[in-house]
Structure 1
Amino acid sequence: MTLRLATKQQIDYDQKTVYYRNLKTKKEDLTSYDRLVIASGANAVVPNIPGVEASNVYPFTRLKAVQEIKNQLDDYQTVTIIGGGFIGVEVSDQLALLGKKVTLVEGLDRLMAGQFDPEFSEKIKGAVLEEGVEVLVNQFVKELVVEDGKVTQVKTADHTIDTDLVILAIGYRPHTAFAKNEQLEMLGNGAIVIDPSGETSISDVFAAGDCASSLHRQLGDIYLPLATVASKMGRIIGVNVVSDNKKSLEYVGSLGTGAVKVGRYEAGRTGLNEVQAQELGLAYKTTLISTLNHTEYWPDYSDIDIKLIYEVGSKRLLGAQVFGKKDAVLRMTALTTAIHAGLTTDEIGFIDYAYAPPFSTTWEAINIAANTAK
């Protein structure tokens, strides 16, 4: 049965009822619940600029939109992507590989600024440029020029870009307006605040995924729309809503771990970046090294860059970023585990990682990075 919440008081948390509309029959009805799960996801951020309603402008959040673009891909030769985060970078790379002329427009001064520190943003930008993508930073889109219902040009303060297709990859907002209630605690952007069991501030009401907050081990309740977190919270809530003890399973918290692939390169991050460490008022140091991904007498070796952020005094690892070619992002598994466990750089420097010439150097790259921490 396909259901959608109706237009009246959609959820009555006191009476434990949900008012809904059946999309097939158009009938509206009331149903009750013992425990309620809200998993309504998020909507793409669509800027309020002229031309954004044109038929060749796509928010890149739903499979339907992706399929429509794929079905018409032969008609599009020049593509403008607005937004230089995970999705914008990944989509620009894939379209460039398909032979499209791609321009990536980012309003901030660097790509993936919310995730990576400047050194790694520059490395990611270099990888994107290497794929033939034009990158414009510090450029907010002012207007989309429309002719016959389709955008033909994208205008910023400094550039006019001819285009056949516009993809919006600016970000997400939680789809939660229907659930709003003075009893329901929300973050400033409308994400529903949940505890480690997935329960909201209203008893017997749970939420998960892109509509909800995420428990970050270092930052607390934040909005972190990642598939990894959503999947784990889905499992936890699935157990708790059918359990006599609705707190029987609780989330250990995330570290905001993420990765991106651009052409031949990979980049990953976990824990705190420098901006986040500064916002928390932490005393920290950093180390940044470039070393080999495996022994140089084995074919196809290449550089891997690793940055560690660690606490002054204790030298406890707070964050890490990596960039390189083959197997660079695999290092994130060990680095994430180290932060989760509260290990220090002194300890990490001598961890017994696996070694064989095709996979590592005798001193694994993570050992080398940790041993440069002073």
Structure 2
Amino acid sequence: MADRIKHLPPYLFAAIDKMKQEAIRQGKDIINLGVGDPDLPTPAPIIHRLQKAAEDPRNHQYPSYEGMLPFRKAVSNWYKRRFNVTLDPESEVLTLIGSKEGIGHFPLAFINPGDVALMTSPGYPVYHAGTLFAGGKSYFIPLKAERGFLPDLASIPTEVAKAAKILFINSPNNPTAATADRGFFSAVVEFAKRYNIIVAHDAAYSEMFYDGKRPPSFLEVEGAKEVGVEFHSLSKTYNMTGWRIGFVVGNREVLAGLGKIKSNLDSGVFQAVQEAGIAALEMEDSVVETIRKIYQERRDTLIPGLQKLGFKVTPPPASFYVWIPTPAGIASADFTALLLSKTAIVTTPGKGFGDAGEGYIRMTLTVGTERLEEALDRMEKSGIRG
């Protein structure tokens, strides 16, 4: 094994899936609140567009590396409609095989061995993994409850900031569900300009919001396009996790760097899937609003139930994740194991998202309200309390 493999931590969700499969083999009725994989079906118009496009022989050959121009135009139109952000589809939009792929490849374009990438703890594990693959060093900015789980840029030592090449940020945040405002993004732009850092904003959950409070795009803020890019995915918004299509938008020079990596490592997204992506991006927002209402109903079922059991948890403003403090004195991995053994509920230990995630577990809203009620009932009957 290469050293980069030896030093790579086990991928969190693969480990959780292994635990789940073992419990299933034992005959347990699993309630899976571990991985954020929507249980709702992909909207029918998207499926129908794929079916038609798959029958077209022109889509059976290699796609373009940067993605079909019609798809990139659909992305730019969606950004204009959703965020009032203007993008050049030819140079400021790049198609991805899901945002995970783009994020994982991103450090290869900009990190030399020994360079620093800034990222949050807790945070999506791929930021760190991609940095390790590029030979870089990860500097973790702890997310704390007293700051609303937003990173404190002022806490980063000057020498670390000067050595940094990339700053990964994520709003709405996975796993905490914290949502940044324009003021925070403006501070990020100022920080990036001061230290000549590329900002990589992961906005995969921007459309999963509640109570009508839409999170802003990083690119809405003045100067953002000068310093960074924004990753997006169709996976969560349109229940397309298995379809593997996403995009990244913003600074054209940064996109050109990532594009050079991708042209050497992959051959693009199947054009029929890109056609389906166009159908998704052109859908009326009422379709996504229906999905949001389902998740909000689930949120409003789970949160009061957890509070009744003594857990100090607040309703997430966005995403479909609930960030829950563990009972006093119980480590996150131990509490995850306890829930699995006593209630057959799969959750995610906060420590798996980074050291600063210790003391929390993450639950998802990707099961129906009846199963959430069943989970709460199992916890109560098992004597599990916050």
Q: Which has the higher helix share?
A: 2
Do both share a fold (TM > 0.5)?
A: no
TM-score by length of 1: 0.32
